[in-house]
Amino acid sequence: LSVTLDDPSFPATLYARLIEEENGKHQLIWSRSKPSA
In a domain, 14, yes or no: yes
Contact 16, 28 (CB under 8 A): yes
The band of 3, judged by pLDDT with boundaries at 50, 70 and 90, is very high
From the list 9, 18, 4, 19, the residue with the least C-alpha distance to 32 is: 4
Residue 20 domain flag: yes
Q: Is the pLDDT of residue 36 over 70?
A: no
Is residue 7, in this structure, part of any structural domain at all? yes
Confirm whether 10 is domain-assigned: yes
Number of domains in the chain: 1
Instruction: Show contacts of 6-10: CB within 8 Å, 24+ apart.
Output: none
Domain contains 37: no
Give the sheet arrangement for strand 14-20, strand by strand.
Answer: 2-5, 14-20, 26-32
User: First vs last Cα of the chain: how many Å apart?
Assistant: 30
Residue 24 forms part of a structural domain? yes
For the segment 6-19, what is each residue's pLDDT rounded down to a tens digit? 999 988 999 999 99
Q: For residue 8, tell me if it sits in a domain.
A: yes
Domain assignment of residue 9, yes or no = yes
For residue 33, the model assigns a pLDDT of: 80
